[in-house]
Amino acid sequence: MDAETIKRSLESSGLRCTPQRYAVMAFLMEQNRHPTAVEIFKAVNRTDPRSSKATTYNNLRDLVQAGLVREVAVEGRAARFDAKGLLHHHFICDGCGNVEDIEWYDVPRPAAGSLGKRIVRDCEVILRGLCIKCAAKHRAPQRARAAALAR
């Protein structure tokens, strides 16, 4: 996403395009992974030392509320942030905490009125388990035990 596109997306969402907010959004747009707020702050602060931790956190909150960034809650670990515009779900590894993008598929919506007076803003599926690397580490000791018992 180029500079003008980021600026337009911020402004069309009702957010001013401040240098710090732009820096946060630009950093997130170039990420293939899902950085934490601390990682975002450190990266932004390297290019603009005037940016404070509070400003970075406030900008993340504003970007999430505007729908430009998604916050991915990781149980027991720091939340991670994602600015990919394409719809997708997430897989969170219980072992290493890595967050991976999972292809989007439609989630059945509740029937009208079934949620009472609630207003649903967003819906996301989060799959949890072991990533490929952690699953391989987990299976290795099991295979060794099975082989030992078979002897």
Residues contributing to the annotated binding site for Zn(2+): 93, 96, 131, 134
- Beta carbons of 71 and 81 less than 8 angstroms apart: yes
Cα distances (angstroms) measured from residue 61 to each of 37, 73, 116, 138, 149: 10, 13, 28, 37, 54
**CA–CA dist 19, 51 (Å, integer):** 9
Which residue(s) pair with 102 in the sheet? 89
Specify the residue for token string 């946060």: 24
